[in-house]
Amino acid sequence: MKNKIRVAVLGSTGYVGMELVKILSNHSYVDINFLGSETEHGSFLNNIDNTNKYTNLPILSPNKNFRPEDSDYVFLALPHAVSNKYVKKFYNKINIIDLSADFRLDNFEVYKKNYGNKHECEELLNNFIYGLAEINRDKILNSKNIAVPGCYPTSILLPLIPLIKNRLIDTKNIIIDSKSGYSGAGKKFDFNKIKSKNDYNFYNYNTNNHRHIAEIKQELNKHNSENEVRFSFNPHILPNFRGMISTIYCDLNIGIKKTDIINLFHELQKLNPFIKYIDNDETLDFFSVQNSNYCKIKIFNHHSEDKIIIVSAIDNLIKGAAGQAVQCFNISENIEETVSLV
């Protein structure tokens, strides 16, 4: 058995941070030796998250008190524009798994356009591996710096990249319609936007202007040598706490049939423990992926034979964040990929 790996989590009291601690506290190879929080330091996580009974966890400390020499890995569950400040301090001193958007984009001008913040170590953008585990597994192995993908991109890229790599779909007119629980907006989300006195609300936002579009475009184009992938992206917020479903409308390339798509996903799920292709009557909904690291995918017929509809479901806090981060950690350390995730 491997020696325990000393792990720190900064931002451990946010939605994603708490999910990270939950997963890592049950990890047989991990010793959590630092938990950082900007708002709750001096307390114990049990006092904040009463859904779990944690044992042997350190008291919450200010994020700034973390010393990289005391741990082997640090998970940064921090907002964009905050993570990069810590990376500047920690780089080359510790293995870093960053869950913010600060190191997902390869180009600083693209980052600045979408996040509008000064980046304190833009020269390191290309030094992080994009942690989409099923696609970049070989790059993640033994990597010291990993940028965990966003939740919307995860639900979209996992079904689309294999189709583009295998030239099964036309890349000039992809339509993506995504729906997320409100936890994706973080603890500062205004619940009044989705709840009135008498009813619940549901709304779209940032249509074709969402920050994740740059990330989706960047990663899709890495697997398409012929032309730029063109797509429309329309995200929505639902009055559910967690969960994400992306519905993707694609044109098949000439000579390609729906069975070719299905056969590909059958092969992919054999190679990837967290990809589940659904070919029965199971309904893809939030409940079917809740609290899991699975991405479930289902293919539907379109009334036109040269088109297909793909539905992809994930838990935005797990496969879209904390679970994927731990999956990357396992791969990087050459641990069985599913440890603490099934």
- The C-alpha atoms of residue 334 and residue 106 are separated, in whole angstroms, by 26
Residue 26 amino acid letter = N
- The full length of the chain comes to 342
Cβ 170 vs Cβ 251: under 8 Å: yes
- Which tokens is 170 given? 């036309």
Amino acid identity, position 236: H
- Told to judge if 151 belongs to the known catalytic residues of this protein, a careful annotator would answer yes
CA pair distance 32, 253, nearest whole angstrom:
49
H/E element, 36: strand 30-36
Task: Report the 3 state secondary structure along 177-196.
Answer: EEEEEHHHHCCCCCHHHCEC
**Residue 114 to residue 230: CA distance in whole angstroms:** 18
Tell me which of 121, 151, 295, 328 is the catalytic residue: 151
Q: Active-site residue numbers?
A: 151
